[in-house]
């Protein structure tokens, strides 16, 4: 959530739920770690902020606050204290889909289930 939302903490619940909703979905891994680490799934995995968050004490300023909030949201989702705001979405994007503008930014075949600007949440065909 931290690396995907880039400090847009209001989107943490949606990103967290879309990630969880992928677990066991057709063609997706059966574990949360499998989903997170599946190649090409999340652009933030392995990048600088991802690496720094491996040692939260190294984070400073806004990154430290964003990490703390992401951790709280993740725990609340896993403990059932935050409901799924995505309508069961398994994917999300912000801006044009993969840099290709489609009508309404809706990638072909996907069903949009929720919008929390700048993110759009959807299910795959």
Provide mean pLDDT across the span 22-36.
93
Give the pLDDT score at 13: 95
Summarised one tens digit per residue, pLDDT across range 93-102 is: 876 555 554 5
Range of the domain at 78: 2-123
Nearest to 91 by CA among 29, 28, 30, 21: 21
Q: For the chain, what is the domain count?
A: 1
Summarised one tens digit per residue, pLDDT across range 81-90 is: 999 999 999 9
Q: Is the dihedral of CA 24, 115, 80, 75 positive or negative?
A: positive
Give the pLDDT score at 78: 95
Rounded CA separation 91/76 (Å) = 20
User: Which residues, 6 or more positions from 52, have their beta carbon under 8 angstroms from its beta carbon?
Assistant: 58, 59, 63
pTM as predicted: 0.85
């Amino acid at each position: 959530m931290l690396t995907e939302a880039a400090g847009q903490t209001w989107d943490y619940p949606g990103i967290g739920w879309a990630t969880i909703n992928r677990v066991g979905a057709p063609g997706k891994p059966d574990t949360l770690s499998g989903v997170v680490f599946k190649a090409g799934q999340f652009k933030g995995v392995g990048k600088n902020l991802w690496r720094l968050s491996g040692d939260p004490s190294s984070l400073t300023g806004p990154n430290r606050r964003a990490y703390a909030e992401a951790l709280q949201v993740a725990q609340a989702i896993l403990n059932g204290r935050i409901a799924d705001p995505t309508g069961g979405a398994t994917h999300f994007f912000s801006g044009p889909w993969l840099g290709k503008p489609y009508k309404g930014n809706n990638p072909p075949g996907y069903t949009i289930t929720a919008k929390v600007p700048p993110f759009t949440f959807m299910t795959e065909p």
